[in-house]
Amino acid sequence: MALQYRVKRMQMNYKEGKPEGFQAQMVKQPIVREDNLVEYIANSTNLPRSTVLACTMAIADAIKLYVIHGHRVSFKHFGKFHLKVQNTCVDTLEECQADTVKRIQLCFTPNEDIKRVLNKTGLVNYASLNDSNND
């Protein structure tokens, strides 16, 4: 199995004197919706669809509850969720207030098994796949 990427022309950093360049970006496939995930899990576990949906909703609620209270949430077979803030750097301790926070992000770190699969997965240029299909 290989992940698909395409090459895109990008505006580069003008400070370095590089006005344009090229960058590999992942090809975005259609979004897999909750219904598709629930159906897949129900079929692979022989659990009723309603049970799987109730479990996914309960897991999402639990993640929200714990991360909002400052906890990291860890799933052994999946990964970890935690909050991260991006903020403006200020000169003094007194200036560091809640209004210096630009955004709060929910971050996910995959477990070692998922990382290993991703590292073993190759890349293939989407354009070359399309060219070979047209032959």
**Does residue 129 form part of some domain?**
no
Residue 65 lies in a domain: yes
Structural domain range at position 63: 32-69
Higher pLDDT, 111 or 24: 111
- Give a yes or no: residue 19 inside a domain: no
Confidence of residue 125 (pLDDT cuts 50, 70, 90): confident
Q: What Å distances lie between residue 121 and 38, 80, 116, CA to CA?
A: 25, 22, 9
Global confidence as pTM: 0.69
Total domains in the chain come to: 1
**Residue 108: pLDDT over 90:** yes
pLDDT in tens, 96-107: 999 999 999 999
Is position 46 within any domain?
yes
Q: Is residue 57 part of a domain?
A: yes
- Residue 4: inside a domain, yes or no? no
